[in-house]
Amino acid sequence: MLKVFLERLRQGYRTSAYPLEEPKLPDRLRGLPVIDQAKCASGCEAGIESCPTSALGMKDGKLELDLGRCLFCGECERTLPDGAVRFTPDHKLSARRREDLVLRGQELALAGALEGEMHRVLGRSLKLRQVSAGGCNACEADVNVLTTIVFDLGRFGIQIVASPRHADGILVTGPVTENMKLALEKTYAAVPSPKVVIAVGACAISGGPYIGHPEVHGGAPSVVPVDLFIPGCPPHPMTILDGLLRLMGKIERKRAAEVVE
C-alpha cells in the first residue's frame, strides 16, 4: 500500500491548466492554415493538383481551402508558391456551419455556442455517445484521450456515455461506411431530443481520404444533421476540446468576461 502512495506522489499532478492557460503545443503542429492570395499571382493551378482530397481549389481567381476536406498533410506548402498556404500551430479550428470551413483568406469564423433552448438544456452538461463509422482509430483515440487526467473532460461537464439513451448527442468519427450507415441512423434515432451531432475529423466531415469511394458515404452530414464540425486528420485533442467548449458557450463567455474587466 505504501508503494501505491509513494508512486502517486512521484507521478505528480498532471491536469493541464487549460483553459486558464494556453496549451503547450508542438512547434511543428499543422493547425490553422493561412492563405495569402497575393502569392498566387504567379499561378497556383499546378500546386492545387497535388492536394490528395481536392481540399484546394480556385474560385473566381481566388485560392480556396476547405478545412473539412483537408488532411493537414502540408503537401500544398511544398507545391504551391512559397507562402500561398502556410500551416500555423493554431489549434482552434471548429465551426458550426459547413461553409465556414472554406477559407479564402478571411478569418475562420470559429464555432459559436448553441442557441436558446438548446443552450439552456445542454450548455452546462453535455453527455455524448461516440459512434465510429469507418474511423481509423486515430480520431477515436484522440477523443478518448480527453477523458484522461491531462484533459479531464468531466470538469467541463462533458462525459462520454455508454448508451445513446443516456446521451444528449452523438460524436461521429469516420467517413460513414455503407456497413455502418444503418447503425449510425439507429444510434441517432435512439438519442432523446433535443440532441446535437458533432463530426470529428476530415472523414466525418466530408469523407476525408475516402471521398468518392462507393463503400462510404460522404461523412456524417450525408446521414444526420451536424451541429459542430471539428477538422483535422486527426484533430489534436485540444482542437476537439476547444470545439466542444465553444459549442457549450464556455469559451466565448470567458472572452466576454475578460473584455468587461
Partner 1 sequence: MSPAPLETRNAQAVPIADVPDLGDEEFRDAILTAVSLGSRVSALFGHPAGEGKLRLFCVLANDELGSLALLSRQVERRFMSLANDCPGVHLFEREIFEQWGVEPHGHPWLKPVRFQPPLVAAGARASQIGVANFFRVEGEEVHEVAVGPVHAGVIEPGHFRFQCHGEDVFHLEISLGYQHRGVERALAGGPDKRTIHYIETLAGDTTIGHAVAHCETLEALAGAEAPARAHAIRGIALELERLANHTGDLGALANDVGYLPTASYCGRLRGDFLNMTAAICGSRFGRGLVRPGGVAFDVEPARSAELQGRLARAMRDIRGATGLLWETPSVMARFEETGTVTRETCEKLGFVGVAARACGVGRDARQDFPLGMFRFSQVPVMTWHTGDVFARAFVRALEVESSGKFIDGQLKALPAGPVLAALPERAPDRIVATLVEGWRGEVCHVALTDERGRFSRYKVVDPSFHNWTGLALALRGQQISDFPLCNKSFNLSYCGHDL
Stretch that binds partner 1, among 7-15, 94-102, 220-228, 251-259 (CB under 8 A): 7-15
Number of residues that bind partner 1 (CB under 8 A): 68
Q: Are 158 and 144 in contact (CB under 8 A)?
A: no
Give the strand order in the sheet containing 56-59. 56-59, 62-66, 102-103
**C-alpha torsion angle, residues 240, 144, 171, 90 (rounded to 10):** 10
Does the protein bind partner 1 through residue 236 (CB under 8 A)?
yes
Closest CA to 91 of 172, 150, 18: 18
Nearer to partner 1, 135 or 249 (CB): 135
3-state SS assignment for residue 248: coil
Q: Give the Cα separation of 203 and 58 in Å (integer).
A: 22
Q: Give the Cα separation of 131 and 204 in Å (integer).
A: 10
What does the per-residue mask of binding to partner 1 show for 138-167, with x meaning CB under 8 A? Answer: xxxxxxxx-xxxx---------x-xxx---
Does the protein bind partner 1 through residue 34 (CB under 8 A)?
no
Does the protein bind partner 1 through residue 217 (CB under 8 A)?
no
Stretch that binds partner 1, among 36-44, 60-68, 109-117, 123-131 (CB under 8 A): 123-131
Name the site residues for partner 1 (rule: CB under 8 A). Answer: 3-4, 7-8, 10-11, 14, 26-30, 49-53, 71-75, 129-145, 147-150, 160, 162-164, 174-175, 177-180, 182-183, 187, 203, 208-210, 213-216, 233-234, 236-237
